Amino acid sequence: MKRLFLILSCVVLSLLNFSCVEDNDLTGSLDLTIDSNTYHMPVANFIFANDVTNVVGTNVSQTVTVNVKGNTVRQYVIGYGRDFAELSANHPFGDEFNQEANLEFVSTIDAREEFVAVCGVLTMSEYSSDSIAATFSGKMLTKSMAMSLINGNATPEAVQNQLRNFSGQFVAVP
């Protein structure tokens, strides 16, 4: 009897594990760390249109949006430079400045928080019609401070102390 119970338990656990893997394959996921706070988005989807890959990860209360110009496996610059030094060298950002990728985070828990990546890199490691995978890191600002920087109302040096580190990864499905 104990042997039968052990066999049935193993079968049930195997089925549960298999179903969890299928759910992740169907929904994708995205993780974002801002300074020391990590946010998990159990759903991440992508669409490719007009030569732009749009990824949206959400957990209902928080959303991360990533836009990448293209659909190839390579490294993309997020925002206005790979790092703060390159961002500073590119400032002011004229109308001709063309971003390769951007990333935004919105949280509606308690007071609404919005952050925009202003510099960093995104490394696309997989891109197919079934799923895409990438890692990313860089620096971000609150949306209002980022808009001041982008519109030329603030200099990189003026916002340097307000920069926040971010990093993360995603696997997105169509």
Question: Cβ distance 104 to 117 under 8 Å?
Answer: yes
Q: Look at residue 13 in the predicted model and tell me its pLDDT.
A: 40
Cα distance between residue 169 and residue 82, in whole Å: 17
Q: Read off the pTM.
A: 0.84
pLDDT < 50 regions, the chain: 1-23
Q: Look at residue 70 in the predicted model and tell me its pLDDT.
A: 97
Using DSSP, state whether 134 is helix, strand or coil: strand
Cα distance between residue 68 and residue 82, in whole Å: 14
Which CA distances in Å does 173 have to 68, 121, 127, 154?
A: 15, 21, 10, 38
Give the H or E element holding residue 11.
Answer: helix 2-27
Question: Using one digit for the tens of pLDDT, what is the confidence trace for 47-75?
Answer: 999 999 999 999 999 999 999 999 999 99
